[in-house]
Amino acid sequence: MIRQVLVGDHGETAKFHLRYFEIGPGGYSSFETHKHEHVVIGIRGRGKAKLNRRVTDIKYLDVLYVNPNTPHRLFNPFEEPFGFFCIVNARRDRPRPVKT
């Protein structure tokens, strides 16, 4: 998985961080929860998100809002890379793993 901080890790004073993630075919993020909210915007390929027990598709320019304390995982069951922006609060708690 690729992870890049585009805004928020270079001395900016913004109250948010903009990050880019890319998940390769068959890959996935950790299944986690945290107190902060975040927004995911699909920008390359397509993927899926698991929110609690619900699974939703994400494709180019789809926007997904993840509520605080919602267990979630992003994954890529497809044959092309899945890239997305993730916007989070600059001040936030650490993710906590969720048992599956």
Residue-wise pLDDT for 41-99, tens only, equals: 999 999 999 999 999 999 999 999 999 999 999 999 999 999 999 999 999 989 898 98
**38, β-bridge pairs:** 66, 88
Q: What is the pLDDT of residue 64?
A: 98
pTM greater than the 0.85 cutoff: yes
Q: What domains can be seen in the chain, in order of their start residue?
A: 2-22+40-90 (2.60.120.10)
Q: What is the pLDDT of residue 93?
A: 86
**51, β-bridge pairs:** 54, 72
Cβ-count burial of 61 within 10 angstroms (0-12 exposed, 13-18 middle, 19+ buried)?
A: exposed
Give the CA diameter of the chain. Answer: 38
One-character DSSP codes across 51-67: ETTEEEEE-TT-EEEE-
pLDDT tens sequence across 5-19: 999 988 999 999 999
pLDDT > 80? residue 27:
yes
